[in-house]
Structure 1
Amino acid sequence: MLFEKLKPRESLGFLSWKVSRLMTNDLAGLFASADIDVTVEQWRALIPLYKLDGLSQGELCELLSQEKTGVSRLVAALEKRGYVRREACENDRRIKYLYITDKGRELLEATVDIAVNNRDRLTQHVDPEELAICKRVLWQIIEPTLDCSCESHND
């Protein structure tokens, strides 16, 4: 009786989480089969740095909607692989600025088509008009939660 109230087929949270997991798991499999040495989560963290090099680690946390400790681990792994470099702020050594390396840029450029093809493959059976409506509705939920400084990061 308790779980009947949850109605997963009607739960926006469950449905959006499930779609996200399906797409992430498929992309992870594609990366693994192509011998790409990065997790999907690490790959996603490179995208804002590609667009806005020199973000602080705190800004990256906000853009990724993730906790500091998780982003710190992502950045450490990316740094270890040579995809990003960290620089301490001159005025406040606690603040770290993140810069994507040439190797990180090359990785994104080499893998973006894999991600786009994965997305297109997973949505190919969905009516394009309905998919457009779904995206608009999700943005209607997301946009009011964005702070003004993040809006330009979503292009």
Structure 2
Amino acid sequence: MTNIKFDSYSYLLDRTARRVKGYAQQKFASGDFDVTVDQWLILKSLDNDKYLKQKELAEITGKDNPTLTRIVDLLCKKGLTERITHKDDRRSFTVHLTAAGTAKLEELSPRVNEVRMKAWENLTEEDYEQLKTILNKIYQNLES
């Protein structure tokens, strides 16, 4: 593959990722979601894995530790998450959803799905499967 093609594909991938996130951020802000896109990502990750160390949560969400700490602090203030001292290591904490956090996920999930579906609305199932395959290959190529 030539560098010109690679640069073009990298640009398209980056441009699309920024547009998707920007669209979601605008919809979250104008839709009275009471959480940001990044906060939603943390809540959704905690729904999948009930108790995570902050370091694990940072890895899953692609956030650096200071950014993740700020997001979790805000979610704790909103009563949507809480930190619990880790059972095996009193120097570390696990983060988990509170009942209010679980309720917020249930309340917002249909609305978040509507926002996400905007990006997919003109794609066929075959388009989606091809895109998923390609993105997973790119991701796996960059695993260390």
The two structures have a TM-score, normalised by structure 1, of 0.78
What amino acid maps onto 2:9 in structure 1?
A: S
Q: State, as a whole percentage, how many aligned pairs show the same letter.
A: 27
Given the alignment of the two structures, is residue 140 of structure 1 paired with residue 141 of structure 2, yes or no?
no
Residue 153 of structure 1 is matched in structure 2 by none
What amino acid maps onto 1:11 in structure 2?
A: Y
Structure 2: where are the runs of 5+ without partners? none
Query: Could you say if the C-alpha distance between residues 146 and 54 of structure 1 is closer, same or farther in structure 2, counting changes exceeding 3 Å?
Result: farther
Q: Return the alpha-carbon distance in structure 2 between the equivalents of residues 93 and 145 of structure 1.
A: 34
Report the Cα offset of residue 15 of structure 1.
2.5
Residue 60 of structure 1 is matched in structure 2 by 57
Residue 37 of structure 1 is matched in structure 2 by 34
Given the alignment of the two structures, is residue 125 of structure 1 paired with residue 98 of structure 2, yes or no?
no
* Per-residue CA distance 1:101-151 (angstroms, 9 max, x = gap): 11111111111222222222222123432232111110122246569xxxx
Residue 84 of structure 1 is matched in structure 2 by 81
What amino acid maps onto 2:126 in structure 1?
A: E
Report the Cα offset of residue 46 of structure 1.
0.9
Given the alignment of the two structures, is residue 49 of structure 1 paired with residue 43 of structure 2, yes or no?
no
Kept in 2: contact 1:46–1:104 (CA 8 A):
yes
Q: Return the alpha-carbon distance in structure 1 between the equivalents of residues 123 and 100 of structure 2.
A: 36
5 Å matches for 1:87-126? 87-126=84-123
Residue 10 of structure 1 is matched in structure 2 by 8
Report the Cα offset of residue 30 of structure 1.
2.2
Q: Return the alpha-carbon distance in structure 2 between the equivalents of residues 112 and 81 of structure 1.
A: 18
**RMSD over aligned Cα, in angstroms?**
2.4
Kept in 2: contact 1:30–1:114 (CA 8 A):
no
* Per-residue CA distance 1:16-71 (angstroms, 9 max, x = gap): 33222222222222222331211100110111211211111111011112211111
What amino acid maps onto 1:74 in structure 2?
A: I
Query: Higher relative contact order by CA 8 Å / sep ≥ 6: 1 or 2?
Result: 1
Query: Could you say if the C-alpha distance between residues 17 and 32 of structure 1 is closer, same or farther in structure 2, counting changes exceeding 3 Å?
Result: same
Q: Return the alpha-carbon distance in structure 2 between the equivalents of residues 7 and 63 of structure 1.
A: 30
